[in-house]
Amino acid sequence: MAHPETSASSSAHAPHVMPLSTYFLVFAALMVGTAATVGAAYVDLGWANNAVALAIAIAKATLVVLYFMHVKENTRLIPAVIFSGLFMLLILFVNLLADYGTRGWLGVEGR
Amino acid sequence: MSSESHGPSDLAHHFDSYEQQKESATLGMWTFLVTEILFFGGLFAAYSLYRSLYPEAFRAASHSLDIRLGAFNTAVLIGSSLTMALAVRGGQTGKPKTTFAMLLGTLLLGSTFLAVKAVEYADKFTHHHVPGPSFHFEGPDAPHAQLFFSLYFGMTGLHALHMVIGAAILAFMLRPALRGAWTPRNHNFLEGFGLYWHFVDLVWIFLFPLLYLIGRHH
Amino acid sequence: MTSSPNPVPAEFPRTHYLNAAYGLKSWLWTRDHKRIALLYLVSVSVFFALGGLMAVLIRMELATPEGDFFQPDVYNRLFTMHGVLMIFFFLIPGIPAVLGNFLIPLMIGAKDLAFPRINLLSWYLYTIGGAFTLWALLHGGVDTGWTFYTPLSTNYVNTAVLTVGVGIFIAGFSSILTGLNFIVTIHRMRAPGLTWFRLPLFVWGHYATSIIQILGTPVVAIAILMVAAERVLHIGFFDPKLGGDPVLFQHLFWFYSHPAVYIMILPAMGVISELVAAFSRKPIFGYKFVAFASIGIAVLGFLVWGHHMFVAGQSIYAGVVFSVLSMLVAVPSAVKVFNWTATLYKGSISWDTPMLYALGFIGLFTIGGLTGVMLATLGIDAHVHDTYFIIAHFHYIMVGGAIMGYLGGLHYWWPKITGRMYPVFWSKLSALVIFIGFNVTFFPQFILGYLGMPRRYHSYPPEFQVLNVMSSAGATILGIGYLMPLVYFVWSMRYGPRATANPWGATGLEWQTTSPPPVENFAYPPVVTAPPYTYEAQPAAGKGAARVV
């Protein structure tokens, strides 16, 4: 796992530098996404409004994570760490909302 | 006897290589960011619960936020993410002046965000939308609207606190950046701070639609 | 076993981490994980003593049915502070901060943890958090119960909720940073040849613990912040007058606090795996199952928090789901107990003090765990919730389990940590006293709870007195048992016989270096070529050679 390296050979492991254009493209996409989410908010899509807003936010977040935060070039451990956090967040949301969502289903007072 | 107590000063004694040091720094910072996801996540969970219970109150309260300021701030923060990413790139490519300029840009954009936030908060104070004894809301379901504002101040306040801390660290990074402290061989601190700054942007990417854009088509 | 080119010197090292530098600054400004572990040892022992003092006072009150020793609100503060101190400042940091910090770099062949300065910061945060809590203790403490339920904690008490909340918040950061350090260290700093399935199970246990610390602690942190905001700024997250729901607090609180109990037990289980292997002189039966069971406990532990809220107004359907999942989480724990037992089978058992603690753990943890499955059953829990049955259940696991694991680990690695051996007769005697004292204290509490005695009450119906007196008598015996190691451990540091590198003849990289280890842990970087616990290949000699020739 660990091996000693001289400073000369460590430059052989220099990370891949993303081209400038990638950063500007991602920036442009994020701006478009922001405009889209504002615009979509003014259109009546019924229940889909929430889904669209969340989908755009997730898309923007994915771009930031993959490109600005360089996760695209990290080892696979990093996405595993991120997903474990998101999974636990999901568990918190699901069980919390499931409690409140199923209250009163049995017709028992206070439950 | 003991080995390598006099290696290069930017390679810590307990690491065997720059690569190991860098991988450790990246994993460490991401592990910390996961704790931040769960930290903010608790507030997001409270938000999702109360919004599902009181949709009318949340919609009315959301409309009292200025969507232009919110959208402007979103653009500003995304811009600051761009400058931050370019600052890190300056470290990767060994260009101290670029790093310095981009960090300065990030600091300026972040400060702009905080200034706009202050304007928004002042507006909320004037309209008595701050939860507490002097709260007053003209609209349906006022007590539940107070829940919205509790979450608004809680979530944006926590977010702003993270930005203030980030801005303070940025200010202290300017001089080392110009002096070339971050090299292609070791720019872990710069990259790690970049991850933190991007994370703060990520939180706002979700806060903006959830707080400002509830049912705007009504 | 390693095949490092250098044989371990049998004589005693002249310079090691304890005498490499002297003076207060060399301790308070150290980056050495071994010294930080000792700093933690002192701090957690102080908080254990304070929490124990609270327990003594509680048991004194409960020796008589009337509430005649303390006023009710004073009694409330006693059990609250007992819980806060024991949980947040002893059990949660406990084994990871003391044994984990010391041993993990040694066990994986590294020179230190990944982030030594963050390790020191962890200790300072713990100490500062502890200072806030101590300040609160000296100013009357908190009386809400360690669970801080709203709206009692937000609206109806005027005790030091904020101060203790701040203390716990800061200590939570200490816990997060320790977990972070362990995760990065275990992923990135293993010696060449040390693959995941060659790691000692102690390391697997701490890895699983660290996952819980990272994912769970932030949620209780935000819950504390929300309580503070409601108390100070009147921002009503949980206030029913504003449509808030007090049960939301319970959800956020228990989302952490249930996995927190696995933070307290997983490291102890890791210790037990090491002890059972070493003192049966056999590899752990079903190594991979035990390793995966640790991860399984960590993950499943996050899915069951609602079993603390069966009678809190939670929906019955949610209750059913949480009930089933809670029974499921018992399975990996049972797998471990079966595997330890199978390891003992046909092993060459020796009755050294650490083994006494390990055997005690297996029995007492099983009892505690089985009563946990009883409590997962909705029908039973509805009756025994908030009674002494619950108290007995978690003390069997926390004290009969976690603390015995901690003591067993201290007794096993003490020669490595200090280079000294403790007196064997007194150590075995105190293990026996602790075992007896523990059972006399807590078994009657199962019966009391089942008969209906509620918890957190300072008075009770007279028919419960006999069992309560038994419990208080047991507590006295237990207290004496805990004082004994304090005496002989301290004695041993000056007068104990010097220990060789491997007094137990055990496998593991930590035994391949001197006792105490050098500052850099190993004279030569180790290389690993074999699985762990290769006891068949080991000669029996070397074991018990704790005395200088």
Concatenating the DSSP letter of every residue in C458-469 gives S---GGGHHHHH
Give a three-class secondary structure readout of C367-392. HHHHHHHHHHCHHHHHHHCCEHHHHH
How far apart are alpha carbons C417 and B68 in whole angstroms?
62
* pLDDT-wise least confident of B71-75, B125-129, C339-343, C405-409: B125-129
More confident residue, C241 or B3: C241
Q: What percent of chain C has pLDDT over 90?
A: 88
Answer whether residue C3 shows pLDDT above 50: no
> What integer pLDDT is reported at residue A6 of this predicted model?
38
Nearest chain C Cα distance for residue A9, angstroms: 19
Sites in chain A below the pLDDT cut of 50: 1-13
How far is the first Cα of chain B from the last one, in angstroms, to the nearest whole number? 75
Q: Across residues C204-221, what is the average pLDDT?
A: 97
CA atoms of C166 and C77, how far apart (whole Å) = 17
Looking at this protein, which amino acid is placed at residue C36?
I
pLDDT value of position C509: 95
Q: Is the pLDDT of residue C4 over 60?
A: no
What's the count of helices (H) and strands (E) in chain C, helices before strands? 17, 0
3-state secondary structure at position C265: helix
**All partners of chain C with 3 or more CB pairs under 8 angstroms:** A, B
Any residues with CB less than 8 A from the CB of C491 and at least 6 apart, and which?
C422, C423
* Cβ atoms of residues B44 and A96 within 8 Å: no
Average pLDDT of the residues in C276-300:
96
pLDDT at C445: 97
Q: Which residues pair with C387 in a beta bridge?
A: C454
Distance of CA A25 to the CA centre of its chain: 18
C253 CB neighbours in chain B (<8 A) are: none
Q: List chain A domain ranges.
A: 18-69, 75-102
C74 pLDDT exceeds 60? Answer: yes
Lowest mean pLDDT among A10-19, B56-65, B141-150, C346-355: A10-19
3-class SS of residue C2? strand
Residue given tokens 């006897």 in the structure block: B1
- Is the CB of residue A107 less than 8 Å away from at least one CB of chain C? no
Q: Enter the tokens of residue C473.
A: 């008598």
| H or E segment and range at residue B75 | helix B67-92
Identify which of A1, A91, A106 has the shortest CB distance to residue C316.
A106
Residue C115 CA: distances (Å) to CA of A53, C100, C522: 40, 14, 18
| Cβ within 8 Å, pair B17-A10 | yes
Question: Chain C contact for B19, CB < 8 A?
Answer: no
Beta bridge partners of C420: C498
Residues of A in contact with B217 (CB under 8 A): 41-45, 49
- Give the whole-angstrom CA distance, residue A47 versus residue A51: 7
> In terms of C-beta density within 10 A (0-12 exposed, 13-18 middle, 19 or more buried), how is residue C167 classed?
buried
C435-479: pLDDT as tens digits: 999 999 999 999 999 999 999 999 999 999 999 999 999 999 999
Q: In this predicted structure, what is the pLDDT of residue C239?
A: 86
Residues of C in contact with A1 (CB under 8 A): 188-192, 194
Mean pLDDT of B49-64: 92
Q: Which domains does chain C have, with CATH numbers?
A: 30-512 (1.20.210.10)
Other C-beta atoms within 10 Å of A26: how many? 21
What pTM does this model have? 0.94
pLDDT of residue C6: 45
pLDDT at C408 over 60: yes
Residue B13 has pLDDT above 50, yes or no: yes
CATH 1.10.390.10 fits B18-212, yes or no: no
Q: What is the pLDDT of residues C213-249, one digit of tens each?
A: 999 999 999 999 999 999 888 888 998 887 789 999 9
Q: Which of C186-200, C233-247, C336-350 has the lowest mean pLDDT?
A: C233-247
- Whether residue C370 lies within 8 A of chain B, CB to CB, comes out as no
Q: Kindly determine whether residue B92 and residue A17, on different chains, have CB atoms separated by under 8 Å.
A: yes
User: What is the C-alpha to C-alpha distance for residues C489 and C38, in angstroms, rounded to an integer?
Assistant: 13
Contact in structure between C58 and C64 (CB atoms under 8 Å): no
Tokens coding C36: 């930080």
**Residue B4 — very low, low, confident or very high, per pLDDT cuts 50/70/90?**
very low
On whether the CB atoms of residues C270 and C203 are closer than 8 A, the answer is: yes
Longest dimension (CA), chain B: 76
Share of chain C above pLDDT 70, in %: 96
Report CB contact under 8 Å: C237, B151.
yes
- Examine residue C525 and say whether the peptide bond preceding it is cis (omega within 30 degrees of 0): no
pLDDT at B7: 63
Are the CB atoms for C404 and C430 separated by under 8 Å?
A: no
Residue A17 CB contacts under 8 Å (≥ 6 apart), including other chains:
B89, B92, B93
Does C5 score more than 80 pLDDT?
no
State yes or no: pLDDT of C208 exceeds 90: yes
Residue in chain C closest to A98 (alpha carbons) equals C318
CA torsion angle C142 C147 C149 C154 (round to 10): 40
Closest in A5, A18, A74 to B26, CB measured: A74
**Tokens standing for residue A70:** 């360089």
- Which residue of A84, A94, A95, A103 is the best one to mutate when testing the C interface, meaning the one whose CB has the most C CBs within 10 A? A95
The number of beta carbons lying within 10 Å of the beta carbon of residue C304 is 23
User: With an 8 Å Cβ cutoff, is A3 touching chain C?
Assistant: yes
User: Are the C-beta atoms of residues B22 and B15 closer than 8 Å to each other?
Assistant: no
b/e sequence B81-102, b meaning 16+ C-beta within 10 Å: bbbbbbbbbbbbeebbebbbbb
